[in-house]
Structure 1
């Protein structure tokens, strides 16, 4: 082969290699149809794996990712947990015991302002199991003895007495009296001397009207209130009520201590009739809660039972001492002298030297004085038994000297 032929062969080989390289490059540079959305890769990435890692191709038939749905059992468990996390409902109060009232039941008439209304509610609860007592409440929340033009209590009390024919009348007034009073066509300011004189006259006339038929009457005093000035005024009015009620033979019921603390200050929370700490007053510091009404009635309840006697006995009451059989109580024995015996030896066949059991012999007469009484009153010290460590007598009895235990 000539040199020209060899050079031409090399030239054709070199051109062929170039064509192959160009073809490979074209194949590499053309991305597949399924991955057109991806970035183009170079020859270096193909041969040596250079470049950043790409996400796997997404094909048309690939499933779409959806968040896993909770199974029905899991949803049920979540509902149960949420239900358990909710606050437990308060236990239902037991249904009140309904006791049918007797046809001959005595009626208790409660009259006055909103405090009288609260008192009536508390008394109904107190006597709900008492068949012989019926509570009749006739209260006007905004009434009093000052504004006769708004509500005339003397006229209405007479009508209430004729309607109910009560065996006992309870009055509770005073919470709405802190205002001007019309006296002889003139307006008189609260707590002046003239105002107090006229109000005292009206209170006395109202108490006398309640006692007109000699019906027992209770006048319940006012409780303290959150306002210090109002509380001070209630102290003054309670003094008027006590004086006028007792003048006509009525009874004044003081409830003040049940709604103050140890220092005599107003309290919102205090002890109920069972000694438990409860809310007694409303948020306004004036009205009473259910527990406060019951405590208010507690102070009046005992007077009602005392005045009405057997009619106020509850169906659940326990018979008193009069209905119980007399208990046999043995008379106390006389204070006898203490009997002392000698120590007993285990090897003594006759024990303490006697054949008679303790108490089997003649009963010793007592002088009624114990060794302690003789020591305190006369300074006499009882003699120690022979042979005891505190027996300091010089002459020992023969029984002690002959005992081997006491020999030297």
Structure 2
């Protein structure tokens, strides 16, 4: 079998190219990542987000076409997507499909999958960012609905889903314009519209993405365990040397119960009774060598008899099966 090569992660040449796609929230994520991933540390963060766009209105901005043009011109190592705040609209494709209808949902999922697949086909690691908590309950319900679709498709497409909703709630579990920044200080994190963030807020949101990237990098460093195939070992059957018949293996018996006494094995030498036992010290056997040889011969003959299934005849002097020692 050929030797198994050592696991060597693919080496990257040049900066890590991080490309950001999405709407106005995607704009903010790009600004946060631009500060979290400086060029001096080997990162290049590029913005492709477009304000007022979404996956619904292809007539206004066609993300399916745009993402194909982008990957044709740029090397995309990491793709960060945050979109959806402008998608509370009817989809017009083979008819009109109202928001949340079965047709609307099927088309919207297909567009998520299409965008994801184009990025994956180019070898990009895709991070789809969950929409954050919103101040308006009605608007927030639709954003939560979109998040269920984003998470479902992220799992189905094998990409990383970055949760943000619970992380952007206040300490009381409700929407709050204030929160803790990267240094643990309470700061204004949201703008007056209850949707967007301040720059401190976007830096914190970008931190959720970089944390997910670091976790993915740690997972890639784990050396995979390779299981070697186990080849079966051929066992030759036991053949009776006299009859030529195949000897069946003895059937295993159940183990003895814990309290059941174990019978001593046959012909085991007696152990010394104590450290002062003279026979043990001198090495003098307690039985004669002739008796020991006779018993060994008897044991061999008995074992052969059991294997053949019949009793051996009484050995006669001078015959080949007479294993007894001649008398002195």
Scaled by the length of structure 2, what TM-score is found?
Answer: 0.60
Rounded to whole Å, the distance in 2 between the matches of 1:193 and 1:287 is 30
**Structure 1 unaligned residues grouped into runs of 5+:** 1-101, 310-408
Does the Cα contact within 8 Å between 1:109 and 1:164 map onto a contact in 2? no
Q: 1:303: Cα distance to partner?
A: 2.1
Does the Cα contact within 8 Å between 2:77 and 2:123 map onto a contact in 1? no
Given the alignment, which residue of 110, 118, 124 partners 1:215?
Answer: 124
CA RMSD of aligned residues (A): 1.9
User: Is 1:193 aligned to 2:99, yes or no?
Assistant: no
Q: Secondary structure at the match of 2:121?
A: coil
Alpha carbons of 1:264 and 1:193: their partners in 2 closer, same or farther (altered >3 Å)?
farther
Q: 1:166: Cα distance to partner?
A: 1.4
Given the alignment, which residue of 105, 116, 119 partners 2:26?
Answer: 116
Runs of 4+ in structure 1 off by over 6 angstroms are none
Rounded to whole Å, the distance in 2 between the matches of 1:276 and 1:221 is 24
Rounded to whole Å, the distance in 2 between the matches of 1:201 and 1:164 is 24
Rounded to whole Å, the distance in 2 between the matches of 1:161 and 1:304 is 20
Q: Secondary structure at the match of 2:170?
A: coil
Rounded to whole Å, the distance in 2 between the matches of 1:125 and 1:213 is 26
The aligned counterpart of 1:285 is 194
Q: Secondary structure at the match of 1:211?
A: helix
Q: 1:129: Cα distance to partner?
A: 6.2
Q: 1:163: Cα distance to partner?
A: 2.1
The structure having more radius of gyration, on CA atoms, is 1
Rounded to whole Å, the distance in 1 between the matches of 2:144 and 2:32 is 23
Aligned length: 207
Does the Cα contact within 8 Å between 1:207 and 1:244 map onto a contact in 2? no
Does the Cα contact within 8 Å between 2:71 and 2:122 map onto a contact in 1? no
User: Is 1:259 aligned to 2:168, yes or no?
Assistant: yes
Q: Secondary structure at the match of 1:295?
A: helix
Given the alignment, which residue of 222, 228, 245 partners 2:154?
Answer: 245
The aligned counterpart of 2:36 is 126
Rounded to whole Å, the distance in 1 between the matches of 2:58 and 2:173 is 33
Q: 1:191: Cα distance to partner?
A: 1.7
Given the alignment, which residue of 180, 184, 209 partners 2:90?
Answer: 180
**Structure 2 unaligned residues grouped into runs of 5+:** 1-11, 219-328
Q: 1:135: Cα distance to partner?
A: 0.6
